[in-house]
Amino acid sequence: MELRENERIDDLQCGGYRILQNTKKFCFGMDAVLLADFAKVRPGARVLDLGTGTGVIPILMAAKTQASRFTGLEIQAEMADMARRSIELNGLEQKIDIVTADLKEASKQFGGASFDVVTCNPPYMEDCHGLKNPEDTKAIARHEVLCRLEDIVRESAAVLKSGGGFYMVHRPRRLAEVMSLLVQYRIEPKRMRFVHPYAQAEANMVLMEGRRGGGRQMRVERPLIVYQEPGIYSEEIYEIYAWKRETGDRGNAEGAERSVSMPWRCM
Give, in order, the Cα–Cα distances in Å from 208 to each of 5, 114, 254.
36, 21, 25
Distance CA 185, CA 196 (A): 29
Q: What number is the average pLDDT over the span 132-144?
A: 56
The pLDDT-based confidence of 130 (bands split at 50, 70, 90) is: low
pLDDT above 90 for 13: no
Are 160 and 119 contacting, i.e. CB atoms less than 8 angstroms apart? no
3-class state of residue 98 by DSSP: strand
The pLDDT-based confidence of 242 (bands split at 50, 70, 90) is: low
The reported pLDDT for the residue numbered 183 is: 96
The CATH class of 7-222 is alpha beta
Q: What number is the average pLDDT over the span 46-67?
A: 95
The reported pLDDT for the residue numbered 255 is: 38
Q: What residue spans define the domains of the chain?
A: 7-222, 226-257
Distance CA 123, CA 71 (A): 19
Closest by CA to 232, choosing from 222, 223, 241, is 241
H or E element that contains 229: strand 227-229
CA geometry: angle 234, 191, 126, nearest 5 deg: 85
List the single range of 25-29, 84-88, 107-111, 125-129 with lowest mean pLDDT: 125-129
The reported pLDDT for the residue numbered 246 is: 43
Question: What is the per-residue pLDDT across 153-212, written as a single tens digit (0 to 9) for each?
Answer: 999 999 999 999 999 999 999 999 999 999 999 999 999 999 999 999 999 999 999 999
Closest by CA to 117, choosing from 203, 201, 195, 57, is 57
> Which residues make Cβ contacts (< 8 Å) with residue 98, sequence separation at least 6?
52, 55, 71, 72, 74, 80, 83, 84, 87
